[in-house]
């Protein structure tokens, strides 16, 4: 309310279009809307609009799966060591595609409803993923989906949902669903 009052004090009497609200302000009600609103991340199912359906999904191709023995390492600087024999998938994506390196230790890639942890560091073009628990051999894994939202990824990377979404690179194949007319 205070911010609304200050905004009105500063802009009342100006003969210009006014805009105060991004997604959060839009949700507060019409008195925050003025002439223009900026829904931003709310269009993509991000905070603070928690009831929104996520509209962005990231599916990444698995390019190989290898058996890794106990004690073997994965990733640059040998940052992950296999505690037991594991099946490790290599996914064709990395920080060159906008996948933020810092999200690695806390993030999973999903096959159906099963979350598979990232192992080792996210590199420029590749990500190691422990798929040992899967009975199937996946051809692709999902990074962003209904199990792991843009805001969860942002928390995992220590950033905000906007950065996750705006970092996504041009190498992704985009598939638009619905009427585009």
Q: CA-CA distance, 64 to 35, in Å (whole number)?
A: 53
The pLDDT tens digits of the residues spanning 32-90 come to 999 999 888 777 777 766 677 777 899 999 999 999 999 999 999 999 999 999 999 99
Q: Residue ranges of the alpha helices (H) in 20-84?
A: 23-28
Q: Output the six-digit token pair for 47.
A: 């905070």
Q: What is the mean pLDDT of residues 149-160?
A: 93
What's the topology of domain 58-167?
Lyase, Ornithine Decarboxylase; Chain A, domain 1 (2.40.37)
Q: What is the mean pLDDT of residues 95-113?
A: 96
Q: Output the six-digit token pair for 29.
A: 């009600």
Q: CA-CA distance, 118 to 129, in Å (whole number)?
A: 4
In this structure, the dihedral spanned by the alpha carbons of residues 57, 108, 42 and 32, taken in order and rounded to 10 degrees, is 180
14 falls in which pLDDT band (50, 70, 90)?
very high
Q: CA-CA distance, 121 to 124, in Å (whole number)?
A: 10
Tell me the percentage of the chain whose pLDDT exceeds 90.
Answer: 70
Q: What is the mean pLDDT of residues 90-105?
A: 95
| Extents of the domains making up the chain | 2-38, 58-167
Q: How far is CA 57 from the centre of its chain?
A: 8
The pLDDT tens digits of the residues spanning 117-131 come to 999 999 999 999 999
Three-class SS state of 86: strand
Average predicted confidence (pLDDT) for the chain: 91
For residue 50, the model assigns a pLDDT of 66
Q: Is the Cβ–Cβ distance between 176 and 127 less than 8 Å?
A: no
């Amino acid at each position: 309310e205070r911010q609304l009052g200050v905004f009105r004090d500063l802009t009342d009497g100006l003969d210009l279009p006014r805009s105060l609200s991004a997604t959060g302000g839009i949700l507060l009600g019409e008195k925050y809307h003025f002439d223009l609103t900026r829904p931003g991340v709310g269009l993509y199912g991000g905070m603070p609009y928690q009831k929104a359906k996520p509209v962005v999904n990231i599916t990444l191709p698995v390019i190989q799966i290898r058996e890794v023995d106990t004690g073997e390492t994965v990733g640059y600087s040998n940052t992950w060591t296999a505690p037991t024999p594991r099946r490790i998938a290599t996914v064709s994506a990395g920080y060159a595609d906008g996948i933020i390196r810092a999200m690695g230790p806390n993030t999973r890639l999903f096959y159906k409803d099963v979350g598979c942890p990232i192992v080792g560091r996210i590199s420029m073009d590749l990500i190691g993923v422990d798929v040992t628990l899967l009975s199937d051999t996946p051809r692709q894994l999902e990074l962003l989906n209904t199990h792991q939202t843009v805001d969860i990824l942002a928390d995992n990377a220590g950033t905000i949902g906007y950065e996750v979404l705006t970092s996504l690179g041009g190498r992704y194949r985009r598939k638009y669903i619905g009427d585009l007319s």
